[in-house]
Chains A and B, each alone.
Chain A
Amino acid sequence: MNFLRLVRVFFRVNIAGELAYRMNFLFSFFESVMGLAFTLVGLAVIFSYTDSLNGWRPNEILALVGVYSLLGGVIRVAILPGMQQLTESVRDGTFDFTLTKPEDAQLIVSISRIGVWKIIDVFLGLAILIIALVRLGGSIGGLQAVEFLAMLLTGSVIVYSFFLILATLAFWLVRVENILTIFLSVYHAGRWPLSLYPDWLRYGLIFIIPVAFATTIPVEALTSRLNWVTLLAAFAAAVVLFVASRAFWKFGLRHYSGASA
């Protein structure tokens, strides 16, 4: 399939580029492990005083931390680099070359850049998640597992669409380098259950900057806290947002007149 072939090619190119900076792997690894270690220390302090946080047991929060790191890794590996590249290339004019290529421009933008070393976060997140799952043991059935995977996918699509909409604004605003950081600047909030926050903050994390879909909702599915209505709503939101972001992208493209020429 053409799509997979392109992904493979771009992946190889990115790996080859990054292998010139092998020490970056060590530094990246060190930073990720440290970040996680301090997160776990924080959790240990909190759970030395209580054994449940608004009904969430320590191992359930641990699963949340795992998903937080996993999805954070996915964003930094697969979503953010491409979008950053897009906003830069709109500003300096090199986006014109992307448009001349025979493939769909959105596809090329989305897969041409990969944050190779941040894949560490994905693996660390998976490791934490597996530890949490083993410790949660028998309380998770097949249905929850399926729901969890579906919500992870849903969350990724929502985050991708959100980033695409932000990056598309570059066609009008040109200088938007900061706009992409808005998601990660509130992503911290996704390390804790949504039910902790007051209403205004919770709705903000669902409807304005959709952090909730990335971390809390998948783990709620995993720990059977999610009802069918929310599940379907999240699924519908992903479809709507994906279609809408695609339409917005095409609308933006029509507006794009080139910065270099």
Chain B
Amino acid sequence: MKALVQLYLQQFKTTFASMFQYRFALLIWMIGQVGEPLIFLVVWSTVSNGMGGSVGDYTTGAFVSYFLVLMLVNQFTYTWLMWDYEWRIRDGTLSFALLKPVHPIHSFIADNLMTKAIQVPVLTVIAVALAFAFHAVLSVSLWVVVAFIPVLILAFFVRFLLEWTLAQAAFWTTRVGSLNQLYFLLLLLLSGQIAPLSLLPHPVQIAAKILPLYWTVGFPTELLLGKVTPSAALFGIGVQAIWLVVTFSLSRVVFKLGVKAYSAVGQ
């Protein structure tokens, strides 16, 4: 246990240092994270204004807060595992990680947490500034805040374990770019990043609720916006818990199989 704490602390330090080494990369990343939701915010605001101030159950102000909250939730839960993992297999550093007595997932988790600790506050400031610039409308009741915290944490772990599982594909093929893109595009649509789920065609909505993607981004966002009733929130937490168990088990099985199938590349 003590060794694990030490490992996390050391990874925190390494990540922190490397983030300040690559400051420009941080700026590029920020433009990308803000850009996409900002574009859809502008597009849907335009649609909403053109239709007299609302589309479906979203007013113009609600669209603004939807995409800004979405930006933060997405930021909080996203991972770059699928790219990072492939990279570490290609350049051979994963082989070293596999030799260590601790599971390699820990250093990935620590790396992710430290990165977020720097990125989330920066992005929150940007989101608040944009909320004023675009006149966001948001009123949050107390139970929503209380429910939002566990929902967000569950969302983080479900997404992390899901993407960790998918990242294992790199054990079998060193060319996972296409798989990554397919996943990324599905995520864009099904997690509500193109439009709120209730505005998407009915079959898409059903697919989104069956698959885990909506529960990691769209659901926490809608919850904070007050679009979810208390009973639906409980139901959602239940679904998240089920996905947590499923992705956790899957990640273990697939990792074991992957390590067996793995033949190292690189030096």
The stretch of B107-115, B193-201, B239-247 in contact with A is B193-201
Choose from A31, A50, A178, A188 the contact partner of B28 (Cβ within 8 Å): A178
Chain A residues contacting B51 (CB-CB under 8 Å) are: 49-50
Choose from A35, A53, A179 the contact partner of B43 (Cβ within 8 Å): A53
Choose from B22, B35, B185 the contact partner of A188 (Cβ within 8 Å): B35
Given contacts A179-B24, A185-B31, are A53 and B36 in contact (CB under 8 A)? no
Separation in Å of the B4 CB from the closest CB of chain A?
Answer: 33
Separation in Å of the A183 CB from the closest CB of chain B?
Answer: 10
Separation in Å of the B126 CB from the closest CB of chain A?
Answer: 13
Q: Does A30 contact B (CB under 8 A)?
A: yes
Are B50 and A53 closer than 8 Å at their CB atoms?
yes
Choose from A31, A35, A186, A197 the contact partner of B42 (Cβ within 8 Å): A197
Chain A residues contacting B50 (CB-CB under 8 Å) are: 50, 52-54
Q: How far is the CA of A53 from the CA of B28 in the complex (A)?
A: 29
Separation in Å of the A175 CB from the closest CB of chain B?
Answer: 9
Separation in Å of the B201 CB from the closest CB of chain A?
Answer: 7
Query: Chain B contact residues: over half helix, strand or loop, or mixed?
Result: helix
Are B181 and A35 closer than 8 Å at their CB atoms?
yes
Residues of A162-185 at the interface with B, using a CB-CB cut-off of 8 Å, are 178-179, 181-182, 185
The stretch of A37-45, A80-88, A137-145, A250-258 in contact with B is A37-45
Are A182 and B195 closer than 8 Å at their CB atoms?
no
Are A49 and B199 closer than 8 Å at their CB atoms?
yes
Q: How far is the CA of A200 from the CA of B42 in the complex (A)?
A: 13
Are A34 and B46 closer than 8 Å at their CB atoms?
no
Q: How far is the CA of A256 from the CA of B51 in the complex (A)?
A: 57
Residues of A181-201 at the interface with B, using a CB-CB cut-off of 8 Å, are 181-182, 185-186, 188-189, 191-192, 196-198, 201
Count the A-B residue pairs with Cβ separation under 8 angstroms: how many?
78
Q: Does B189 contact A (CB under 8 A)?
A: yes
Separation in Å of the A215 CB from the closest CB of chain B?
Answer: 13
Number of interface residues of B (CB under 8 A): 34
Are A34 and B185 closer than 8 Å at their CB atoms?
yes
The contact string, 1 if C-beta is below 8 Å from chain B, for chain A 12-43, is 00000000000100010011001100100110
Q: Does B178 contact A (CB under 8 A)?
A: yes
Q: Does A46 contact B (CB under 8 A)?
A: yes
Q: How far is the CA of A38 from the CA of B195 in the complex (A)?
A: 12
Q: Does B7 contact A (CB under 8 A)?
A: no
Given contacts A45-B201, A197-B42, are A186 and B24 in contact (CB under 8 A)? no
The contact string, 1 if C-beta is below 8 Å from chain A, for chain B 1-43, is 0000000000000000000001011001001100110110011
Choose from A49, A181, A197 the contact partner of B47 (Cβ within 8 Å): A49
Separation in Å of the B245 CB from the closest CB of chain A?
Answer: 30
Chain A residues contacting B177 (CB-CB under 8 Å) are: 27, 31
Chain A residues contacting B189 (CB-CB under 8 Å) are: 38, 41-42
Chain A residues contacting B199 (CB-CB under 8 Å) are: 45, 49
Chain A: number of interface residues, binned into ranges:
20 to 34
The contact string, 1 if C-beta is below 8 Å from chain B, for chain A 41-80, is 1100110111011100000000000000000000000000
Choose from B31, B46, B175, B195 the contact partner of A196 (Cβ within 8 Å): B46
Separation in Å of the A123 CB from the closest CB of chain B?
Answer: 19
Residues of B78-129 at the interface with A, using a CB-CB cut-off of 8 Å, are none
Chain A residues contacting B31 (CB-CB under 8 Å) are: 182, 185-186
Q: How far is the CA of A196 from the CA of B44 in the complex (A)?
A: 10
Chain B residues contacting A186 (CB-CB under 8 Å) are: 31, 35
Q: How far is the CA of A212 from the CA of B134 in the complex (A)?
A: 22
Are B181 and A178 closer than 8 Å at their CB atoms?
no
Chain B residues contacting A42 (CB-CB under 8 Å) are: 189, 194-195
Q: How far is the CA of A197 from the CA of B24 in the complex (A)?
A: 25
Are A185 and B47 closer than 8 Å at their CB atoms?
no
Are A185 and B35 closer than 8 Å at their CB atoms?
yes
Residue of B at shortest CB range from A23?
B175
Q: How far is the CA of A189 from the CA of B175 in the complex (A)?
A: 29
Q: How far is the CA of A192 from the CA of B50 in the complex (A)?
A: 16
Q: How far is the CA of A42 from the CA of B56 in the complex (A)?
A: 16
Separation in Å of the B204 CB from the closest CB of chain A?
Answer: 9
A contact set with B: CB distance below 8 Å: 23, 27, 30-31, 34-35, 38, 41-42, 45-46, 48-50, 52-54, 178-179, 181-182, 185-186, 188-189, 191-192, 196-198, 201
Closest 5 A-B residue pairs measured CB to CB?
A: A38-B185, A42-B194, A27-B178, A185-B32, A185-B31
